[in-house]
Amino acid sequence: MLLHGQTRTVLDRFQAETSINLSSQLSLIKEQYTWNHLVSTGYGRQLAQKVLGGDVITEIKAYTTAAHHFHPAIDTVIDLGGQDTKALSINRTSGQLHKFEMNDKCSAGTGKFFEMMASSLGLSLDELVTEALRGSRSVEINSTCTVFAESEVITLLTSGVALADIARAIHEALLTKLVSLLSKVMRSDTAQILFVGGGAKNRAMVQLLTEALNRQVIVPEHPDFYGAYGAAIHAIQSTR
């Protein structure tokens, strides 16, 4: 993400699948772009710093920074990423992070879960979401561990449950995880939740989360770039 220092408008945005050779991917960025200040975030932040220089912040700090900048009225953020799920509580006045929660190692329940479940149903991710939106709440899947969930899904399929209902149940299983993480950081007067990370592009998930929390769920324009926005804003703020 390339942000203009004064106007803070997006100059360029770029996304790539991570490959085994992350270093050479990063080197390409170095050849193609120029910048004054760089901040890296996310799981590859240290490697990015090694290759590209600049500073690093965690994605937790990046989300906090971006959330306070773009949505100052927000005090609660949920991030559904590919690797993990996080819930953040932000002080609305100071913009400081007050508290955060992350999924534990063994309580899987990340964006990867949808990908795995879609493929075990022979669907694309989009198709899974569309099915879920059509489905009703007739069955439950209790596990967010992909191995167990897969066998639950197969049992449901073979017992004749509608595909749409299974797709919905898959979403509900993850929803439970999100709600439990959120309940640890949400305040009683929290009116809006900011939903970011790749998982926020899932329309079914947004709808279910809104219903379950009975609160407004806001999804920013590019939820999967939110960490990069935060890092870029941090880069601008920390040079002033």
Question: What is the contact surface with other proteins in residues (CB under 8 A)?
Answer: 43, 57-61, 83-84, 96-97, 100, 102, 104-106
Name which of 60 and 236 has its Cβ closer to other proteins.
Answer: 60
Name which of 136 and 237 has its Cβ closer to other proteins.
Answer: 237
3-state helix, strand, coil in the chain (%, to 5): 50, 15, 35
- Least Cβ distance, residue 2 to other proteins (angstroms): 24
- Least Cβ distance, residue 84 to other proteins (angstroms): 6
Name which of 132 and 149 has its Cβ closer to other proteins.
Answer: 149
- Least Cβ distance, residue 237 to other proteins (angstroms): 14
Name which of 97 and 117 has its Cβ closer to other proteins.
Answer: 97
Name which of 42 and 220 has its Cβ closer to other proteins.
Answer: 42
Residue 114 one-letter amino acid: F
Q: Torsion angle of alpha carbons 80, 86, 87, 90, nearest 10°?
A: -110
CA 81-85-86 angle, 5° bins: 115
Name which of 20 and 106 has its Cβ closer to other proteins.
Answer: 106
- Least Cβ distance, residue 56 to other proteins (angstroms): 8
Helices (H), the chain: 22-32, 45-52, 59-70, 111-120, 125-134, 146-158, 163-185, 203-213, 226-239
- Least Cβ distance, residue 46 to other proteins (angstroms): 8
- Least Cβ distance, residue 185 to other proteins (angstroms): 12
Name which of 45 and 168 has its Cβ closer to other proteins.
Answer: 45
In angstroms, rounded to a whole number, what is the distance separating the alpha carbons of residues 117 and 63?
27
First to last CA, the chain: 19
In angstroms, rounded to a whole number, what is the distance separating the alpha carbons of residues 169 and 143?
10
CB 31 within 8 A of CB 14: no
- Least Cβ distance, residue 204 to other proteins (angstroms): 26
- Coil, strand or helix at 81: coil
In angstroms, rounded to a whole number, what is the distance separating the alpha carbons of residues 133 and 110?
20
- Coil, strand or helix at 78: strand
